[in-house]
Each structure stands twice: as C-alpha cells, then as structure tokens.
Amino acid sequence: MNVGKDYPWPRPSCCPCCGGKLWGHGYTARYFSESPKPLWLKRYRCIECHAVHTLRPKTHWRRFQFPLTTIIESLRTKIVENFWIKDYPYQRQQY
C-alpha cells in the first residue's frame, strides 16, 4: 500500500553529520525495484552544516533500488552456483 506523503516518517533527533537541528525539507520521489510507482521519501536539512538527509526504508541501502536481502541472495547465488538470479537483469546484479 502506497500512502504517498502521508507515511509517518520518524523525525531524526539531530543531524548525523554535525549534531545540528534538522528542518523539514520536503519530499523526493525514489524508485525501488518492488514498485513501478515512486515512493515519496521525507527529507530534512541541517541548519548548521546545510546537509540534506533523505529517510529511506531500513531494508534498502543508499543508492540501491533492491532490498538488502535480494542483494545478498544475488551475491550468494553468484559465488556458490556461479550464475546470477534469473528473475533480475544480470547487469543490475553486477552493479
């Protein structure tokens, strides 16, 4: 179920870079492998260091569209069985 911008993202207590105060900085659309539609992720901006932090599901690493479990399974299959998972393009698994 995609609740869009109404998802109750937990507000971080402080900036992970400098410990400064965070202000809401809108939303950004991100695409993940499980959904053809974008997921709206909450962003915060630090008033001290001006860094922008985007919240994301705990199951996904930064800059990856696949969940961590799929990444691990893909690597395990390639190492143990010497081929990529057939359900996903091998080019994306190599990344």
How many other C-beta atoms are found inside a 10 Å radius of the C-beta of residue 30?
14
Task: Report whether pLDDT(48) > 90.
Answer: yes
Angle among Cα 68, 20, 64 to the nearest 5 degrees reads 15
The pLDDT of residue 36 is: 78
Q: Determine the Cα–Cα distance for residues 22 and 3; give it in Å rounded to an integer.
A: 24
Average pLDDT over residues 46-58: 89
Average pLDDT over residues 3-26: 89
For the chain, percent of residues with pLDDT exceeding 70: 79
Position 60 confidence tier, pLDDT thresholds 50, 70, 90: low
**In the predicted structure, residue 28 carries a pLDDT above the cut 80:** yes
Q: Return the number of other C-beta atoms located less than 10 Å from residue 48's C-beta.
A: 13
Query: What are the φ/ψ torsions at residue 90 (nearest 5 degrees)?
Result: -65, -25
Q: What is the pTM of this model?
A: 0.61
Please provide the average confidence, as pLDDT, over all residues in the chain. 81
- Segment 61-70 shows an average pLDDT of 69
